[in-house]
C-alpha cells in the first residue's frame, strides 16, 4: 500500500486518518478522501493533512487501497458510480453489514476485500477492530492493514458467523459503558462530589480496571475477589449489584440486539 483513500469522512474516518498519521503508519500526503460536503471535507483536510477529492472517482483513482467509510445505505450507489475503477485495488470496508460475502455480489474478482468492524474508542487510540476471517487480501496486504489498525487499538480476527455478536459487544458496548459511567458519577454527585470530578474518577477507575485485566490476564472474578474484603464495603456493593440483576441486564442488552 502506497496511497490510501477514504470514501466518506465522518467521525470514524477522521479518527482513523488522524491515528494513522499520528502513529507514523502513513504520511498525510499519501491519504486522500472524498465526501459530499466539500466545505467540511476541505476543513478536515486542513486539520488532518489529507488531500480532498472533488469526486468519488477521483478518490478511487488516487489510491491503491480504499476505505469505504460512508453510510451503509450509500454504498451500493457509490459502487455503481465508481464502476470498474476499483479493478485491481484493495477495499477495506468499515460499513456495518457490508461484509465480504455482500461485496462479492457487487465487485469483480480482481478487487480484494476485507471487512473491518471498528468502534468509537478508536478516536483516542483505544479501539477494537474486528477483522472478518473471510477476505481476499494478499497475505502481505492483510499484514500491512492489520498493523495499520493495530496502531489504534486491539485487532482480533473473528469467524464470519461471529462478526454480529462481536460487533454487538464492541460496537454497541461503548454506549453501555457510558451508561455505567453516568450512573456511578450520579451516585458520586448524590453524595457531594462535583460532576466534572465525578466523571474523571469513575472513568479513570473503569480505564484502570480494564487495563489491569488486559495486562495481567486474570479472570475478572479473581480481580473482583482481590478487592472484596470479608464483611467489607465492596462485597456489600457487589451483593447489591447482584440483587438488582446487573449481570442479567448486561446479557439481556446483547440478547435484545441479537434477537431483533
Would you say domain 171-258 falls under CATH 1.10.3730.10? Answer: yes
Categorise residue 83: left if φ over 0, alpha if ψ from -120 to 50, beta otherwise.
Answer: left
pLDDT at 123: 87
Largest CA distance in the chain: 69
pLDDT digits (tens, 9 = 90+) for 166-182: 999 999 999 999 999 99
Is residue 175 a contact partner of residue 120, using CB atoms and an 8 Å limit? no
Under a CB-based contact definition with an 8 Å cutoff, are residues 169 and 142 in contact?
Answer: no
Residues 239, 241, 244, 245: is their CA dihedral positive or negative?
negative
pLDDT, greater one: 23 or 207? 207
State the Cα torsion 117-123-127-133 to the nearest 10°.
20
Residue 1 confidence (pLDDT) above 80? no
Cα angle: 117, vertex 129, 176; to 5 degrees: 80
φ, ψ of residue 112 to 5 degrees: the values are: -95, 135
Q: Where are the domains of the chain?
A: 4-159, 171-258
**pLDDT tens digits for 61-79?**
999 999 999 999 999 999 9
Span 4-159 CATH architecture: 3-Layer(aba) Sandwich (3.40)
pLDDT digits (tens, 9 = 90+) for 186-233: 999 999 999 999 999 999 999 999 999 999 999 999 999 999 999 999
Q: How far apart are CA 259 and CA 179, in angstroms?
A: 22
* Whole-number average pLDDT of the chain: 95
Amino acid at each position: 500500500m502506497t496511497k490510501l483513500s477514504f470514501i466518506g469522512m465522518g467521525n470514524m474516518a477522521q479518527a482513523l486518518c488522524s491515528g494513522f498519521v499520528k502513529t507514523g503508519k502513513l504520511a498525510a500526503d499519501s491519504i486522500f478522501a472524498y465526501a459530499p460536503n466539500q466545505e467540511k471535507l476541505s476543513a478536515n483536510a486542513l486539520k488532518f493533512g489529507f488531500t480532498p477529492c472533488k469526486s468519488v472517482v477521483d478518490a478511487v483513482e488516487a489510491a491503491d487501497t480504499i476505505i469505504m467509510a460512508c453510510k451503509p445505505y450509500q454504498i451500493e450507489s457509490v459502487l455503481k458510480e465508481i464502476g470498474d475503477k476499483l479493478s485491481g485495488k484493495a477495499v477495506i470496508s468499515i460499513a456495518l453489514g457490508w461484509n465480504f460475502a455482500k461485496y462479492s455480489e457487487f465487485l469483480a474478482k480482481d478487487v480484494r476485500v476485507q471487512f473491518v468492524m471498528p468502534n468509537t474508542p478508536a478516536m483516542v487510540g483505544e479501539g477494537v477492530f474486528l477483522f472478518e476471517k473471510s477476505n481476499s487480501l494478499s497475505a502481505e496486504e492483510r499484514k500491512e492493514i492489520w498493523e495499520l489498525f493495530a496502531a489504534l487499538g486491539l485487532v482480533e480476527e473473528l469467524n464470519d458467523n461471529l462478526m454480529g455478536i462481536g460487533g454487538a459487544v464492541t460496537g454497541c458496548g461503548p454506549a453501555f459503558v457510558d451508561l455505567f459511567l453516568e450512573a456511578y458519577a450520579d451516585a458520586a454527585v448524590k453524595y457531594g462530589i462535583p460532576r466534572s470530578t465525578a466523571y474523571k474518577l469513575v472513568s479513570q477507575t473503569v480505564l484502570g480496571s480494564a487495563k489491569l485485566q488486559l495486562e495481567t490476564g486474570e479472570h475478572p472474578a479473581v480481580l473482583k475477589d482481590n478487592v472484596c474484603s470479608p464483611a467489607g464495603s465492596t462485597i456489600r456493593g457487589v451483593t447489591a449489584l447482584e440483587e438488582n440483576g446487573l449481570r442479567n441486564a448486561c446479557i439481556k442488552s446483547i440478547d435484545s440486539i441479537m434477537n431483533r
